[in-house]
A and B are shown apart, each in its own frame.
Chain A
């Protein structure tokens, strides 16, 4: 009978993505409620060294698939290795971070293993041995509670939605035999923007809209720099060609859930709100006091963003100097 929680981790260049710690912490909670063990699997090459720390986030066992063929992520090789492990270990619940790679890996595993999948979950509950997952749908306009009927079930966890819990516990690290099987996809190259946090992983986002009036986002970048924030944009700004597609926050762009979202010159269209309404705190700066965004912001400033934003940057600098 299927038993246990298995967390599929994600590492890039030898560092785990933050959502891995979130998924593992949640997996541990779920396993405790189900009275079963928690395992994690790490895939890559030369990654055995990073496996041990996962014990402190809740893993009783850390399976390590360390092989040159896994050095760069390709969905077919990773699907083959993980599904072999699942068939061997027979977990009841599989958790994975809902990142670009995590989502497609979860989807292929769902089809291969005939396992029900709940995508982009923000909460999990265990009720008498059954797992119920909560997730946004319709771009965040509604929340849905889902029952997953089948073993294993797969839960893809939205980044920044769940708490990270650390303890003094240790886990056992065990290397597994790797058989990547027949694979068709070949990794050619990757281009990572150094020092840039992805919007979906950012704790603070400073975002610009039509009110920016052009592609010069330097005042937002200066504020973002001092806050350690990522810079986003509304669809208007992207459609104008002022910012790249990967910066777009919104229902048809990226859905983000930072602790703090500062919207500058953004009016607050439904689609934009759908992309950032699960932010913990929203600040809006707009010269139009009737902008719809003020109805959803925790703090609002009516004013010229070209004066207000630099003033905020200065105030933050002063604050940091004092602390």
Chain B
């Protein structure tokens, strides 16, 4: 089975972010970069599929030189090889542009199952997975918490608001991950050592037959700003828990008017 994992390197969630001088992006100084948390579930699920069905796990990522670290983490977990699409012309790509680039790469590869994180923790677009599937002309299932592949079909349980849905589709398939799908393994020390020798190929847009115009962004960030600062409000005091509780309920009803 040929399993491809779409991977992105993103700022760690415990990092605070600052807005850069031009007001249109975040300031990369001091940011800690990690594999997108939802992509960890993707790598883990890929490894489990390989365990059951045999085959290879390839990590496909679009990024800069720095992104190689995140690919190496995936290789250290156990993936077989990596492909990095690294091209300055892709720097200001929007989500659809990223999907075009990744699908152009996938069209040169053999794939049975493509796994992507449901969203990247920076853009929060939820776009790339389903858009890649659309551009490849294959079905996708998003927010998967459980999956089984058998006889050329995949059966998935996925979350929706208020519950779960079970869906079935033929391979090739793309699915995106949801928390609860698995427990991603930690890279072991032997795994980290082996990863250094695993192949990571680099490609440019030209290698994929794409030009800058093919990925011209249609979504433009006009500006970024900090959300309204929430500052501490009122500490409620009282002689007892009951007194504090009654004061709170009164404030919520009379002042805040939320109950």
Contact = CB atoms under 8 A, between A and B. Distances in A.
Contacts of B170: 184
Interface string B193-235: 0000000000000000000000001111111111100111111
A27 B246 CA distance: 41
A304 B241 contact: yes
Contacts of B245: 301, 308, 311-312, 314-315
Interface in A30-63: none
A260 B246 CA distance: 17
B256 interface: yes
A209 to B, nearest CB: 16
A184 B139 contact: yes
B143 A100 contact: yes
Given A148-B218, A191-B164, A270-B13, A301 B244 contact: yes
Contacts of B231: 295-296
Contacts of B164: 190-191
A176 interface: no
A116 B252 contact: no
Contacts, number: 264
Contact of A298 (B99, B133, B234): B234
A42 B244 CA distance: 48
Nearest to B145: A245
Given A142-B226, A251-B13, A270-B16, A311 B242 contact: yes
A111 B130 contact: yes
Nearest to B131: A111
B232 A259 contact: no
B141 interface: yes
B195 to A, nearest CB: 24
A188 B225 CA distance: 44
A299 B234 contact: yes
Contact of B220 (A137, A146, A300): A146
A285 to B, nearest CB: 9
A147 interface: yes
A211 interface: no
Contacts of A149: 217-220
A266 interface: no
B30 interface: no
A175 interface: no
B162 A192 contact: yes
B192 interface: no
Interface residues of A, number: 95
Interface in A130-154: 132, 136-150
Given A145-B222, A252-B37, A253-B179, A192 B11 contact: no
A298 B229 CA distance: 12
A98 B170 CA distance: 27
A316 B259 contact: yes
Contacts of B227: 136, 140-143, 277-278
Output the residue of B13, B159, B221 with the most chain A CB within 10 A. B13
21 contacts: A100-B161, A104-B140, A108-B134, A108-B140, A112-B134, A117-B95, A147-B222, A148-B218, A190-B165, A191-B164, A244-B180, A246-B180, A251-B13, A269-B14, A295-B232, A297-B232, A299-B252, A300-B232, A312-B245, A312-B248, A319-B249
Given A107-B126, A188-B168, 14 more contacts: A103-B126, A107-B127, A107-B131, A111-B99, A117-B125, A142-B227, A190-B165, A245-B145, A245-B178, A245-B180, A246-B159, A252-B13, A260-B252, A302-B235
Interface of B: 11, 13-14, 16-17, 19, 26, 37-38, 94-96, 99, 121-135, 138-143, 145, 155, 158-170, 178-180, 217-227, 230-236, 241-242, 244-246, 248-253, 256, 258-259
